[in-house]
């Protein structure tokens, strides 16, 4: 017997042989009583859990948030007080591809942060873009269907994507970012992160401020062109994992600076009156000259997970995980997400997903939820299993009550502001691009439109024209080149 640990069944019984099944005679059939074999095969059949419905392919690591500045006048959140250091888990992802997809694909990137604060977990589940394609959660499942596989061809459909985008002009801003250089970062370390939504901060005096969160990469922005990505993917499909895991394994500590934009609660109406944009519209940014970036601190990544499945795959990021001092806003998309994520986690992982080590808060957890799958570490006080009780069970703490939100209005299904200006923010972005960036934008769009029916292309071009005539004209010209190059090749993925 060596000094290595003894192999056992999952119920702890020592195992004599892990190489040979139990058979009737040397060449005879295997016995059903070989419980070791049955356990091993049965376990293997259950090794996969459903992948995330979106953002299935991901890369993550642990790190630390350090608050270097004083933003305490805006928030009482302990995690945001000057000098505080908080452990965190980051998970980056692509949106559309499945778990086996190549990393270097053109797509929006997820940018999720879980801060293990002393008052519970705070999750910021953002993207590498400050805006999104749609502004109403009712549109989200349809949008995602256009990014996933066509039900008949089982291939991605460019037709579906451009059909949807051209019918939802609010997507123009995000489409422009996606098709620009920043739509294909070289690694997760070379991109910014944004909370994207408007959230809120509230302080001890009960004052609320609307807030947007920004994380700027210290590694600089680095992107692949489409052609470079083809080469990269030809050599490796796992380039993000190699880069992030490899950097941290070699002692590197990729870092981001954290900023906020802050809007006093009552200013949201003025912002709307001045700009025509709602402060809660996820397809819009708050211009920096109106709401400058305020530095909060920095975070670095410094430790890889020991087990990818249990720490990265089973991590559960949830926009409704906030802590006292941080709150929501009326942003409809955010409101939809507050329901969607914990619902997804209960289905994908199990009822007590928050009890798994990676999701478990580092602060004390006391609740009265009972039973269900994976109830690890539920506290036992056999008589205090309901609330209120007279037997010493946990009680509420009114000192953490959030100030009330001030809402008014008539309940209705309001159309997305038909008068909304979908064009000036993409225009500001387009006009920031240099000639090279513009030309790559046109080329990327033309490539992405390959095989899309003419009437959809025309509808989308009319939208680009409204952003800037040079935008529409540039894409038209790139499409002419693309048509010459693709002559005779049927690349349509659509089943029209």
Catalytically annotated residues:
55, 127
User: Quick one: three-class SS letters along 319-333?
Assistant: CCCCCCCEECCCCHH
**Taking CB under 6 A as the rule, does residue 91 contact ligand HEM?**
yes
Instruction: Return phi, psi of residue 163, to 5°.
Output: -60, -50
What does 140 interact with, of ligand NDP, ligand HEM, none (CB < 5 to 8 A by kind)?
A: ligand HEM
CA distance 124 to 115: 8
**Taking CB under 6 A as the rule, does residue 140 contact ligand HEM?**
yes
Q: Closest separation between CB of residue 63 and ligand NDP, Å?
A: 20
**Taking CB under 6 A as the rule, does residue 112 contact ligand HEM?**
yes
**Taking CB under 6 A as the rule, does residue 308 contact ligand HEM?**
no
Q: Closest separation between CB of residue 311 and ligand HEM, Å?
A: 12
Q: Closest separation between CB of residue 428 and ligand NDP, Å?
A: 4
Helices (H), 67-137: none
Instruction: Return phi, psi of residue 305, to 5°.
Output: -70, 150
For ligand HEM, the closer CB: 162 or 199 = 199
Q: Is 454 exposed, middle or buried (0-12, 13-18, 19+ CB in 10 A)?
A: exposed
Q: Which residues ranging from 1 to 40 are in contact with ligand HEM (CB under 6 A)?
A: none
What does 192 interact with, of ligand HEM, ligand NDP, none (CB < 5 to 8 A by kind)?
A: ligand NDP
Q: Closest separation between CB of residue 347 and ligand HEM, Å?
A: 8
**Taking CB under 6 A as the rule, does residue 348 contact ligand HEM?**
yes
Q: CA nearest 126: which of 32, 64, 220, 211? A: 211
Calculate the alpha carbon distances from 400 to 51, 109, 166, 264 in Å: 36, 34, 45, 21
For residue 58, the SS3 value is strand
For ligand NDP, the closer CB: 120 or 188 = 188
Calculate the alpha carbon distances from 326 to 28, 65, 70, 299 in Å: 66, 16, 16, 19
Instruction: Return phi, psi of residue 261, to 5°.
Output: -110, 140
Q: Closest separation between CB of residue 157 and ligand HEM, Å?
A: 21
Binding residues: 341
The mark string for 259-288 relative to ligand HEM (x by CB under 6 A, - otherwise) is -----------------------x------
Q: Is 190 exposed, middle or buried (0-12, 13-18, 19+ CB in 10 A)?
A: middle
For ligand NDP, the closer CB: 283 or 335 = 283
Q: Which residues bind ligand HEM (CB under 6 A)?
A: 52-55, 58, 91, 93, 110, 112, 125-127, 132, 137, 140, 196, 282, 315-317, 333, 336-337, 340-341, 344-345, 348
């Amino acid at each position: 017997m060596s000094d290595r640990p003894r192999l056992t069944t999952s119920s702890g019984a020592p195992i004599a042989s892990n190489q040979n099944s139990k058979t009737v005679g040397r060449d005879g059939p295997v016995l059903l009583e070989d419980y070791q074999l049955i356990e091993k095969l049965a376990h293997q059949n259950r090794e996969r859990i459903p992948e995330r419905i979106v953002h299935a392919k991901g890369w993550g690591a642990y790190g630390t948030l350090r608050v270097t500045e004083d933003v305490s006048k805006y928030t009482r959140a302990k995690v945001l007080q000057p000098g505080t250091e908080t452990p965190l888990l980051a998970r980056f992802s692509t949106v559309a591809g499945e778990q086996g997809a190549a990393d270097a694909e053109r797509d929006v990137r997820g940018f999720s942060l879980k801060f293990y604060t002393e008052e519970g977990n705070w999750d910021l589940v953002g993207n590498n873009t400050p805006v999104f394609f749609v502004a109403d959660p009712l549109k989200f499942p349809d949008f995602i269907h256009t990014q996933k596989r066509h039900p008949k061809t089982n291939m991605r459909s460019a037709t579906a994507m451009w059909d949807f985008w051209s019918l939802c002009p609010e997507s123009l801003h995000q489409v422009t970012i996606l098709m620009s250089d920043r739509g294909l970062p070289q690694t997760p370390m070379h991109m910014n992160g944004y909370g994207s939504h408007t959230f809120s901060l509230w302080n001890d005096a009960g004052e609320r401020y609307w807030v947007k969160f920004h994380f700027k990469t210290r590694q600089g922005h680095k992107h692949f062109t489409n052609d470079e990505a083809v080469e990269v993917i030809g050599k490796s499909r796992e380039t993000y994992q190699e880069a992030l895991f490899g950097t941290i394994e070699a002692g590197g500590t990729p870092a981001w600076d954290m900023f906020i934009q802050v809007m006093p609660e009552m200013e949201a109406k003025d912002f709307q009156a001045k700009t025509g944009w709602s402060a809660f519209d996820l397809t819009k940014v708050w211009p920096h000259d109106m709401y400058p970036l305020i530095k909060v601190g920095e975070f670095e990544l410094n430790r890889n997970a020991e087990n990818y499945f249990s720490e990265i795959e089973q991590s559960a990021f949830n926009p409704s995980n906030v802590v006292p001092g941080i709150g929501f806003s009326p942003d409809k998309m955010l409101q939809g997400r507050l329901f969607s994520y914990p619902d997804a986690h209960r289905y994908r992982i199990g009822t007590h997903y928050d009890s798994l080590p990676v999701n478990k808060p580092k602060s004390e957890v006391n609740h009265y939820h009972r039973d269900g799958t994976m109830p690890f570490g539920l506290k036992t006080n056999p008589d205090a299993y309901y609330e209120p009780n007279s037997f010493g069970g946990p009680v509420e703490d009114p000192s953490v009550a959030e100030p009330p939100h001030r809402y008014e209005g008539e309940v209705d299904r309001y159309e997305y502001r038909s008068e909304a200006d979908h064009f000036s923010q993409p225009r500001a972005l387009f006009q920031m691009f240099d000639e090279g960036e513009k030309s790559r934008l046109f080329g990327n769009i033309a490539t992405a439109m390959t095989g899309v029916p003419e009437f959809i292309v025309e509808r989308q071009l009319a939208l680009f024209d409204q952003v800037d005539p040079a935008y529409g004209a540039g894409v038209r010209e790139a499409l002419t080149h693309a048509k010459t190059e693709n002559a005779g090749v049927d690349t349509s993925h659509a089943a029209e």
